[in-house]
Amino acid sequence: MKENRKLGHSILLLLAAFIWGLAFVSQSKGMDYMGPLTFNGVRSLIGAFVLLFYILIRRRIQGEKAKKIDWIVTVKAGICCGIALTVASTLQQFGLQYTTVGKAGFITTLYIIFVPIAGIFFRRRVTGIVWFGAVMAAVGMYFLCMTESLALGAGDLLVFFCAVVFTAHILFVDYFSPKTDGVIISCIQFAICGFICTGGALVFENPTWQQLQDGMGALAYAGVLSCGVAYTLQIVGQNGVNPTVAALLLSLESVFATISGWIAYEIGFLKTDQTMTGRQIVGCILVFAAVILVQLPAKWFHFKKKDTENT
């Protein structure tokens, strides 16, 4: 029964990665109709309303059997996750204006390497293989993003910082998800992100109803599936799976993003060329290999310290 539960949670995380991978296409497409803050704000509010509707129905069905909620912890979790999500998603949305879907997907996935490195600040040991993976990822980033003039694209840089902030978001989720209801956390975080980004859009972008109507397809996918469904799958799934396995499964979004971006360009859905040069493909392979490498058990590489207490 326990193994079946783990398998079920792993499938939830894999589905979340698949939805997120395809979401890069909708996010890129949304920039054809509206500004980044407008897109982020509306899709987040859509996600929050979808989750609120689900929460109300679920608790009504459960009735007196509904689990009691520690609202202090839940609101605190929602605020922390919401602020991190706002910053990360905004950086990503702006970055997608200046880089391809595939590159954005792989750069975003660097959070998998940043998470164990961030553990240093929590006095957690970082193995040699993690540092090796970090160097490999850096080399991959060089091939993926640096031009012949040794200039890093603005979009690539924004998505890189997005990955850094997503690291904080994952750590918040890992800390709070066992303590309260993950779906409610997700609803609160999207409400916060939605209000902040919408407020920014009204000040800096002057959104119109026509923009929203023209981009409704991209907004619906990003709001209902990417926000309302996938982030909730992440929170629920992480609660039943080892963080290492969870990170590995979620990292597959980069692969799904690259494939979906190329297909979208080939069929004419995206106007920007999504194909990659041989150099960039090598970079993608190195980044993804580094992501996989840091998730493997340390004992496979003999980095685990031997027990010397009885010697």
pLDDT digits (tens, 9 = 90+) for 286-301: 877 877 777 666 666 6
Answer for the pair 259, 25: CB distance below 8 angstroms, yes or no: no
**List of residues 6+ apart from 221 with CB closer than 8 A:** 22, 23, 26
Instruction: Output the pTM of the full model.
Output: 0.77
Q: What angle do CA 243, 248, 253 make, to 5 degrees?
A: 125
Tokens read off for 187: 């609803």
Tokens read off for 46: 């859509």
Residues 130-156: tens digit of each pLDDT:
778 777 877 777 776 665 554 567 888
Answer for the pair 93, 36: CB distance below 8 angstroms, yes or no: yes
Residues 208-260: tens digit of each pLDDT:
999 999 999 999 998 998 887 887 787 778 776 766 667 667 777 777 887 88
pLDDT class for 31, splitting at 50, 70, 90?
confident
Per-residue pLDDT, 311: 43
Q: Rounded mean pLDDT of 7-30?
A: 85
Residues 8, 6: Cα–Cα separation, whole Å: 5
Residues 231, 237: Cα–Cα separation, whole Å: 10
Per-residue pLDDT, 261: 82
111 vs 146 pLDDT, higher one: 111
**List of residues 6+ apart from 261 with CB closer than 8 A:** 24, 25, 28, 100, 101, 102, 105, 270, 274
Tokens read off for 234: 């992440």
